[in-house]
Chains A and B, each alone.
Chain A
């Protein structure tokens, strides 16, 4: 009893970790599954077949390619636009700045289904009902990623010491040099974070995409579609790969910062 009381926090922590990791574990496990039936989702036997033939299910890799294209373009578009907006909001005083600062939160607070259907209504009203597809998805994604980029970059920019830019100018740096040598390197981690966030938001999105996709299919839409008639195990391969890429990014940045600290300590 006493032992339980002393270790309660530890036990709870382990249970919560397990709770969050079980779905991921299932995805990884199922990527090696050799199913006996398409309709029963159950581990029947081990095989490397799914990993060796990832594009076997019809349309899956095409959907994945579409998703990656849209996510990359949406990331680039929203990061550039959002960074410029953040600079304008922090650095310039203009009419309606404070209301702008509030409005930028709206897309984050709006339920996705509301945003998706209103975008659809907008596209239809503007006469694009026949052209729903890649470009309308891209426009929608840039739109909802934008708020996240603005908020992330703005926080980084607002936390920056104004004196640094003045010090650079005082030390003979022209405004252009000041921007590229001081401002940009200092804001860059914020911009990079915003870009990664945009990519995952865009790649993940189902609701807004589904409403504005027309005949185009993205990866989440494909998974949703095939889920009705039995999920091919290759979906788990893609899921595992995506998980591994995220882990690599996190581990890589951690190793990088540790190496830098170690290098400085030896000097």
Chain B
């Protein structure tokens, strides 16, 4: 077995010009008639923190298990640093997994759990490495305890240490924070991100929690029904979603029906129930002459009828407040529009504006730069239910 330094040296050699991260090509997995992962193509750059985000049953865990070697693909290939590992045995790939339920060995103590991988590979200097890893996850005082004697958060850290100590090319995290309570989860998110930056390994994190994915990952791939809907940096996905599923699953969106009137230069003009609104061409993802105009609730400004709001461009009069909920940092309104639809508006409680009451007449407005346009053929409610946990 060559040391990791040799492997890294080899990878830097110019002869190996191919992609040095993890590449999935046309990856498909079917269970009988059900296709869990459908012709998936994905490149995960080396050293990145990559999140695979989607509702349960979208195929994200199956994808992860194929990378780990615990599931054999029906077709397609997996290459890691230029090496084909599609059919390699799980114990022969430089990939380690943090399981959803941790899967700590109950009959071994914490030390032996963490040392397991090193001992199987007959690595030298096991003791020093285990101690170093246990201090990284701040468990040096618990080494001789059994997993059952630790709290959920501590078990989670043991599972992480047990995988990390092997310095895998890729670390797979299968909803590792799902079983923790909210406060602990937030702490562990920060902790995981810190460790990833420290060790510089490729992390692939599978989760259904959009907030978790956005806080932690450099790149997020939103997965639905076995395919990737959209992939990119968290801000990009949030600000410029390409599908209704992404728009609803990541945060919340108002989607309003509209007819495209014309495209000129950088702007697309859309007729929205008799009101002309414009959307930047770069944020327009509609092919036909119909589309969904999307706007995030926090981008919508609310004001008295006829009031000049600081959002030149799209102004929508004639709303009636139908519901008000005060959340502290913001006030969330539901505003019924003349065409019958209720739009969501989140107004920051800066103190500059008064809070409207239910039944009041209001105007809405938003900057055209914030709007986006989606294809009318998609379901406006796709991903909405799964997104709100």
Binding site for B on A (CB under 8 A): 161, 163-164, 166-174, 177, 182, 185-186, 264, 267
Cross-chain contact A171 with B149 (CB below 8 angstroms): no
Cross-chain contact A167 with B97 (CB below 8 angstroms): yes
Given contacts A167-B105, A185-B107, A264-B149, contact A172 B97 (CB under 8 A): no
Asked if B152 is at the interface (CB within 8 A of a chain A CB), the reply is no
Q: In the assembled complex, how far is the CB of residue A93 from the closest CB belonging to chain B, in whole angstroms?
A: 14
Bound state CA distance, A211 and B163, in angstroms?
59
Residues of B288-340 at the interface with A, using a CB-CB cut-off of 8 Å, are none
Asked if B353 is at the interface (CB within 8 A of a chain A CB), the reply is no
Cross-chain contact A170 with B121 (CB below 8 angstroms): no
Bound state CA distance, A32 and B89, in angstroms?
66
The B interface is mostly helix, strand or loop, or mixed, namely loop
By a CB distance below 8 angstroms, the chain A residues around B91 are 169-174
Bound state CA distance, A185 and B112, in angstroms?
14
Find A267's partner among B68, B99, B145 (CB 8 Å cutoff): B145
Find A172's partner among B103, B105, B107, B166 (CB 8 Å cutoff): B166
Cross-chain contact A264 with B144 (CB below 8 angstroms): yes
Bound state CA distance, A267 and B105, in angstroms?
20
By a CB distance below 8 angstroms, the chain B residues around A167 are 97, 99, 103-105
Given contacts A163-B101, A264-B144, A264-B146, contact A170 B106 (CB under 8 A): no
By a CB distance below 8 angstroms, the chain A residues around B104 are 167
The A interface is mostly helix, strand or loop, or mixed, namely helix
By a CB distance below 8 angstroms, the chain A residues around B107 are 185-186
Cross-chain contact A170 with B120 (CB below 8 angstroms): no
Cross-chain contact B144 with A164 (CB below 8 angstroms): no
Cross-chain contact B103 with A166 (CB below 8 angstroms): yes
Q: In the assembled complex, how far is the CB of residue A166 from the closest CB belonging to chain B, in whole angstroms?
A: 5
Asked if B275 is at the interface (CB within 8 A of a chain A CB), the reply is no
Cross-chain contact B103 with A164 (CB below 8 angstroms): yes
By a CB distance below 8 angstroms, the chain B residues around A171 are 91, 96, 116-117, 120, 162-163, 166
Asked if B70 is at the interface (CB within 8 A of a chain A CB), the reply is yes
Bound state CA distance, A186 and B120, in angstroms?
18
Q: In the assembled complex, how far is the CB of residue A228 from the closest CB belonging to chain B, in whole angstroms?
A: 52
Asked if B76 is at the interface (CB within 8 A of a chain A CB), the reply is no
Bound state CA distance, A166 and B98, in angstroms?
11
Given contacts A163-B103, A264-B144, A267-B144, contact A168 B70 (CB under 8 A): no
Asked if B82 is at the interface (CB within 8 A of a chain A CB), the reply is no
Q: In the assembled complex, how far is the CB of residue A188 from the closest CB belonging to chain B, in whole angstroms?
A: 9
Bound state CA distance, A174 and B119, in angstroms?
12
Cross-chain contact A177 with B120 (CB below 8 angstroms): yes
Q: In the assembled complex, how far is the CB of residue B28 from the closest CB belonging to chain A, in whole angstroms?
A: 22
Q: Can you name 6 A-B residue pairings with CB atoms under 8 Å? A: A170-B69, A170-B91, A170-B95, A174-B91, A186-B107, A267-B144
Bound state CA distance, A167 and B103, in angstroms?
7
